[in-house]
Amino acid sequence: MNKSMSLLAVSIFLVGGLNSVNADPEADRLAMSDFYEKRFPAIELSAHKDGVYALDEAKREQWLEIEDFPPYEIAVDEGEALFSISFANGKSYGSCFENKGIGVKQNFPYFDIEKAEVITLELAINQCRETNGESALGYGSEEMGSLSAYMAFTSRGNTFAIQVPEDGMQAYEKGKQFFYERRGQLDFACSSCHLGLSGNMLRGEVLSASIGHATHWPTYRFKWEAISSLHKRFAGCNGQVGAEGLPQQSESYRNLEYFLTYMSNGMELNGPASRK
């Protein structure tokens, strides 16, 4: 662990600590932002919405060329068509969301006090379907990817302002704990790569900063040859360190998304996106 990482770890745990009743999410976010401002002084915090392309100029130029004819464009169009189809009862996806589902992704995930759980956009889409008598979609399905891609596209330029109510503090802390806990054969945590090694090379790739990780999903990854969710990426990362990946929309992944999205508060959404 390098010196800057040590300072961050100390500041994070002094601010809240894992499972502390005195945890302060905003102090956590400010401590993490301060870490990246010092680690990458030439890069505006807002630029991290572009992930690794904020850190690697050569890769950024290639990525911008790809964005002229983005591979997720078809998914967005298909998602718009699916979103407009009425359910058997005559209602639609728009009936389940604020503003008829347009430009609302910045409100997800949120903690539902009545259900006592974190609600992600993908979970809300399936809850909408089930409430209206339709079967749930597979979280890794093409249809789910397209619907969430369209909803993300309508939310571009909006900024995250995720709230953590008192009842949601435990979910936030569980997400934070997952981020810092080491696991797998390599004994790595999410923070091992995206805090301590951010900006460095690993397996031929530059490691991105953890802030901004929630801004650009769902994403078309050329490795997948498809558009999919942040949770699929979580599972892939778990596998890379020799840990067992969890199902998409598991409680642990929803809590992790909650924590990471709070860390990206104030940042612009720019999904869907394309990544290697």
| Peptide bond between residue 109 and the one before it cis (omega within 30 degrees of 0) | yes
* Structural domain containing residue 107: 73-153
Q: Are residues 255 and 168 in the same domain?
A: yes
159 domain residue, yes or no: no
For this structure, is 237 an active site residue?
yes
Minimal CA–CA distance to 146: which of 71, 78, 234, 56? 78
Residue 139 CA: distances (Å) to CA of 29, 228, 229: 29, 8, 8
119 domain residue, yes or no: yes
Q: Are residues 142 and 190 in the same domain?
A: no
CATH of the domain at 24: 1.10.760.10
214 domain residue, yes or no: yes
106 domain residue, yes or no: yes
Domain boundary among 133, 153, 173: 153
Pairing of strands 219-221, 273-275: parallel
Count structural domains, the chain: 2
Ramachandran sector of residue 51 (left: φ over 0; alpha: ψ -120 to 50; beta: rest) = left
The whole-model pTM stands at: 0.93
Q: Are residues 89 and 43 in the same domain?
A: no
Q: Are residues 55 and 105 in the same domain?
A: no
Average pLDDT along the chain: 92
Q: Are residues 149 and 196 in the same domain?
A: no
Residue 122 CA: distances (Å) to CA of 59, 88, 98, 174, 178: 30, 21, 15, 20, 20
274 domain residue, yes or no: no
Q: Which of 96, 128, 190, 237 is catalytic?
A: 237
> What's the pLDDT score for residue 246?
97
Q: Are residues 117 and 247 in the same domain?
A: no
pLDDT digits (tens, 9 = 90+) for 62-76: 999 999 999 999 999
Domain boundary among 93, 127, 153: 153
Q: Are residues 143 and 14 in the same domain?
A: no
Pairing of strands 205-206, 226-228: unpaired
Q: Are residues 137 and 263 in the same domain?
A: no
Structure-block tokens of residue 227 = 């558009």
| Peptide bond between residue 272 and the one before it cis (omega within 30 degrees of 0) | yes
> What's the pLDDT score for residue 269?
98
> What's the pLDDT score for residue 34?
95
